[in-house]
Amino acid sequence: MGTNSDIDLERFAAVSTGTLGHFRTDGFMDVAIQSLFRPVHVLGRALTVSCQPTDNAPVGEALAGARAGDVLVIDRQGDRRHACWGGILSRGAQAQGLAAVVIDGAATDWREITELGFPVFCRNLSALTTRRLGLAGSVGSPIVCGGVQVCTGDVILADDDGVVAVPQETAAEILEQAMVREAREERMRQLLIEGLPLAEARKRAADG
């Protein structure tokens, strides 16, 4: 099995979450976690964060150590009332080259984030924000986000339809399967555009 280090993420830029949904059931986050704007397509490696409801100190710690292409995946320990992410953090993350943030909770500054165009996936918006309180949290440890266990280094695929976490241990194999299916579906679309009936287009696409 391939590991995360084996993956050239750019090869999978055309893969959609829906394609994974054709042959997988694991890794799909709660459907309430959605992008603040569309269209959007994100592919990156997870950097996990867990912070208590009123505290965002671990988020700042994670940003300080994040690498270009990372996706911050934040466990809010069940809280949806306090927003741990907003426009300023989005600007900082974008300047560092981060791919996105996925929050199992709230964000704020909808207008600034959407105008900036930095991908933020969250459950809801809130005007009540967190503080830097220094409470117990974690960066880089396994978390649960949207009902899915996520480890740092896992592949995060997120788009208009939702968010999927792919374990790094199996990511190369799974994403190769996804690329084959994407190519097959694109072939079928072209055949349908050419006027073939659906059944015939499906058969020809499957035959290669």
Q: Per the structure, how many domains does the chain have?
A: 1
pLDDT digits (tens, 9 = 90+) for 143-160: 999 999 999 999 999 999
1 falls within a domain:
no
pLDDT at 9 over 60: yes
pLDDT of residue 175: 87
Asked if 150 and 142 touch (Cβ cutoff 8 Å), the reply is yes
| Per-residue burial over 158-197, b = 16 or more CB atoms within 10 Å of its CB, e = otherwise | bbebbbbbbbbebbbebbeebeebbebbebbeebeeeebe
96 falls within a domain:
yes
| Per-residue burial over 116-129, b = 16 or more CB atoms within 10 Å of its CB, e = otherwise | bebbbbbbebbeeb
162 falls within a domain:
yes
pLDDT digits (tens, 9 = 90+) for 70-121: 999 999 999 999 999 999 999 999 999 999 999 999 999 999 999 999 999 9
Asked if 40 and 113 touch (Cβ cutoff 8 Å), the reply is no
CATH (domain of 50) = 3.50.30.40
What is the extent of the structural domain holding 49?
7-169
Locus of tokens 């988020």 = 59
